[in-house]
Structure 1
Amino acid sequence: MTTELSAGALTWLLERARQDYQDLAERELSLDLTRGKPSPEQLDLSDDLLSLPGGRHTAADGTDVRNYGGLQGLPELREIFAGVLQVPVAQLLAAGNSSLELMHDCLVHALLSVLPGAESRWVDQERIAFLCPVPGYDRHFALCERFGIDMIQVPMTADGPDLDVVERLVAEDPAIKGIWCVPKYSNPGGVSYSDETVARLASMSTAAPDFRIFWDNAYAAHHLTDEPVEIADLLAACAEAGNADRVFVFGSTSKITVAGAGVAFFGSSPANVQWLLRNNSKRSIGPDKINQLRHVIFLRDADGMRAHMERQRALLQPKFDAVARILETELGGTGLATWASPKGGYFVALQVQDGCAKEVVRRAKEAGIALTPAGATHPYGDDPRDAFIRIAPSYPGLEELERAIEGLTVCVRLVGYEKQAS
């Protein structure tokens, strides 16, 4: 990554970076890029939800949504999301407001009850491990750490996890019970899985008969271009390969409507769906069907959901464009950093020189710019290269975002040139 510089050029660039950083610190900024939250303007797009269902309390099949029951969720809401999540309506559950909660519950249930195809509960086994593509999503890693599940890093490629590594590991080690996947516009790299990656995940041999792919399709509808990325149907591919029970599909409306009061989805094989329903029946008599009906009325159908996401895109795309423009203007050609311009999702992964990410984040914090901690993109918060920084452009206003990214590039230049001069 590093560009060779003469001693004189490096001295000049370092002095300029130091002056720019001093100027940055004197501005006494207070900017926050830590989490990928929807902005208030994005949330405003769903304000009509707050007045729904407007006295209506009957679902399409006659269900009184005010009462108990309906663990699988409203069929008409599942119909809206079945296509984008690539799960047949009959195999899709609509639950509470958080897909992370569903992932948590699936791990707990797998620990405490026998999965379809399993020989015993996970908790009864000596060791459990998950493959973790990196850079990846810190909350996935936090779940594993919470339950004492070993995490094994797998490098990401432009097509998804390195399948040569994945296939070798899962074939050798029966303790490897799963892999975390964000298959479309991944967090934070913006990678979308290729058809070959999907096919190999579906058909690979695993030493564990109860191996599961946690398919967190969080950004299934979150496009940023006129050419939405489409990925292959993993659930169908697994069934065709004779591994129907291999995949758990997760999704939600958290970044579609309102983050705190959305609807989460789980999809899988009929056997896995019945397994989850059976276990969930012990902890709940049914989800919030009033909120589900509210979403049905608001979104109307799959076309209505796509139209709503175009309004979301109109707010998000200028922010991602600004990030790409500023990074290219300030860091392009320097050899100090690389990045990708994602076609969707919520994040930008900035890769700085090895050994520099923590120091960049520290300098940014001292200048009033809060970033996600360096290392959050890796299990246990440990990026062995100390190179990845996750940028979350969604929440700040455009002008505030531009100031934050400009300040971040100052810190990248300062730390990078200091490292080269040391």
Structure 2
Amino acid sequence: MTTELSADALSGLLEQARKDYQDLAGRGLSLNLTRGKPAPEQLDLSADLLSLPAGQRTAADGTDVRNYGGLQGLLEIREIFAELLQVPVGQLLAAGNSSLELMHDCLVHALLSVLPGAESRWAGQERIAFLCPVPGYDRHFALCERFGIEMIPVPMTAEGPDMAVVERLAAEDPAVKGIWCVPKYSNPDGVCYSDATVARLAAMSTAAPDFRIFWDNAYAAHHLTDEPAEIADLLAACADAGNPDRAFVFGSTSKITFAGAGVAFFGSSPANVQWLLANNAKRSIGPDKVNQLRHALFLKDADGVRAHMERQRALLQPKFESVARILEAELGGTGLARWTDPKGGYFVTLEVPDGCAKEVVRRAAEAGIVLTPAGATHPYGDDPRDATIRIAPSYPGLAELEQAIEGLAVCVRLVGYEQQAS
């Protein structure tokens, strides 16, 4: 990645980088790019939810949404998201506000009860492992750590996880029970899985009969361009390949409406849906149907979701464009960094020279710019190359974001040139 420099040229660049950093540290900044939260302006787009359901007490089928029951969720909200998540309505559950909660529960239920197709519950087995495409989502990794599930890193490519590695590991090791996937606008690098990758995931041989793909389609409708990405239908591909129970599909409205008061979804085969419903019946008598009804009334249909997400895009796209513009202006041609240009989702991945990410994050924090910890994009918080930094542009205002990215670029130049000079 680095560009060859003469000793004199490097000395001059390093001296300037040190001056720039001193100026940065003297500004007294307090900026935070740690998490991909919707900005207040994005949340304001859904303000009408607060006045719904405006006295309406019943769902379309006559269900009194104020009362117990309805573990599968309201039909009208499932009808809206079935198309967006590529799950038949009858195989889609609508739950509480968090898809992460659903992933947590699926792991717990698999540990404590027997999955369809399984020989025994996971907790009774000596070793459980998951394949983890990297860079990836830190909260997926945190769930594995929480339950003592071994994590096996798998490299990402421009088409999704390296399927040669995935196929080999899944076929040779019966302890490998699943894989984490963010198939559209992946967190954090923005990759969209190719049709070939989806087909191979659906059809590959697995040593574990109860292997599951945890398909976290968090950014199904989160486009940043006029050409929305489309991904193949995993659930249909698994059924066609003779592995109908392989896919667990997750999604939510967390970054569509209110992050703290949305609706989460689970989709899978009929057998898996019945398995989850039976287990969930022990922990809940039904989800928040009032909230599901207000979402159905507010969003109306799949086209209503798309129109709403265009309004979200109008707020987000300028931020992502600013990140790209500033990184190019400040780091382009230096050989000190590469970065992604995502077409959707919530993150930009910045790659710095090996051995520099932690120091860049440390220097940024000392200058008042807080970033996601280096290593968060890898299992156990360990990026073997110490090169990946996740940028979350969504929450800060545009002026604050631009200050933060300019400051981050200063830190990259300082640390990068220091490394070359050492």
- TM-score tier by shorter-chain length is over 0.9
- Quick check: 1:357 aligned with 2:374? no
Q: How far does residue 230 in structure 1 lie from its aligned partner after superposition?
A: 0.1
Map 1:238-317; keep pairs closer than 5 Å.
Answer: 238-317=238-317
Map 1:381-396; keep pairs closer than 5 Å.
Answer: 381-396=381-396
- Quick check: 1:145 aligned with 2:152? no
> SS of the counterpart of 1:310?
helix
> SS of the counterpart of 1:250?
strand
Letter in 1 for 2:332: G
Map 1:154-303; keep pairs closer than 5 Å.
Answer: 154-303=154-303
- Quick check: 1:53 aligned with 2:53? yes
Structure 2 distance, partners of 1:356, 1:68, is 54
Q: How far does residue 219 in structure 1 lie from its aligned partner after superposition?
A: 0.3
Structure 1 distance, partners of 2:350, 2:3, is 17
Map 1:322-341; keep pairs closer than 5 Å.
Answer: 322-341=322-341
Letter in 1 for 2:410: V
* 1:48-97 residue CA offsets vs partner (Å, 9 max, x unmatched): 10111000011111111111110000111001001110000000000000
> SS of the counterpart of 1:314?
helix
Structure 2 distance, partners of 1:45, 1:404, is 25
Map 1:60-75; keep pairs closer than 5 Å.
Answer: 60-75=60-75
Structure 2 distance, partners of 1:159, 1:375, is 22
Structure 2 distance, partners of 1:112, 1:197, is 31
Q: How far does residue 283 in structure 1 lie from its aligned partner after superposition?
A: 0.3
What is the aligned partner in structure 1 of residue 26 from structure 2?
26
What is the aligned partner in structure 1 of residue 9 from structure 2?
9
- How many residue pairs get matched? 422
Structure 1 distance, partners of 2:218, 2:91, is 18
What is the aligned partner in structure 2 of residue 348 from structure 1?
348
CA-atom RMSD, angstroms?
0.4
* 1:222-261 residue CA offsets vs partner (Å, 9 max, x unmatched): 0000000000000000000000000000000000000000
> SS of the counterpart of 1:418?
helix
> SS of the counterpart of 2:102?
helix
Q: How far does residue 340 in structure 1 lie from its aligned partner after superposition?
A: 1.1
Letter in 1 for 2:391: I
- Quick check: 1:118 aligned with 2:118? yes
Gaps of at least 5 residues in structure 2 are none
Structure 1 distance, partners of 2:159, 2:259, is 29
What is the aligned partner in structure 2 of residue 88 from structure 1?
88
Letter in 2 for 1:142: A
* 1:350-391 residue CA offsets vs partner (Å, 9 max, x unmatched): 000000000000000000000000000001101010000000
Letter in 2 for 1:125: Q
Structure 1 distance, partners of 2:231, 2:327, is 28
> SS of the counterpart of 2:250?
strand
Map 1:98-117; keep pairs closer than 5 Å.
Answer: 98-117=98-117
* 1:14-42 residue CA offsets vs partner (Å, 9 max, x unmatched): 01100000000010100000000000000
Percent identity reads: 86
Structure 2 distance, partners of 1:86, 1:382, is 34
> SS of the counterpart of 1:141?
helix
Structure 1 distance, partners of 2:256, 2:246, is 27
What is the aligned partner in structure 1 of residue 373 from structure 2?
373
Letter in 1 for 2:389: I
> SS of the counterpart of 1:349?
strand
> SS of the counterpart of 1:191?
coil
Letter in 1 for 2:392: A
Structure 1 distance, partners of 2:235, 2:351, is 33
Letter in 2 for 1:15: E
Letter in 2 for 1:409: A
Structure 2 distance, partners of 1:375, 1:216, is 21
Structure 1 distance, partners of 2:367, 2:410, is 10
Structure 2 distance, partners of 1:3, 1:167, is 37
Structure 2 distance, partners of 1:193, 1:304, is 25
Structure 1 distance, partners of 2:196, 2:14, is 45
Structure 2 distance, partners of 1:80, 1:363, is 46
Letter in 1 for 2:164: D
TM-score under structure 2 normalisation? 1.00
Letter in 1 for 2:4: E
Letter in 1 for 2:253: T
Q: How far does residue 150 in structure 1 lie from its aligned partner after superposition?
A: 0.2
Letter in 2 for 1:349: T
> SS of the counterpart of 1:266?
strand
Structure 1 distance, partners of 2:129, 2:303, is 40
Structure 1 distance, partners of 2:177, 2:403, is 44
Q: How far does residue 178 in structure 1 lie from its aligned partner after superposition?
A: 0.3
Structure 1 distance, partners of 2:336, 2:71, is 52
* 1:211-230 residue CA offsets vs partner (Å, 9 max, x unmatched): 00000000000000000000
Structure 2 distance, partners of 1:200, 1:218, is 21
Q: How far does residue 312 in structure 1 lie from its aligned partner after superposition?
A: 0.3
Letter in 1 for 2:24: L
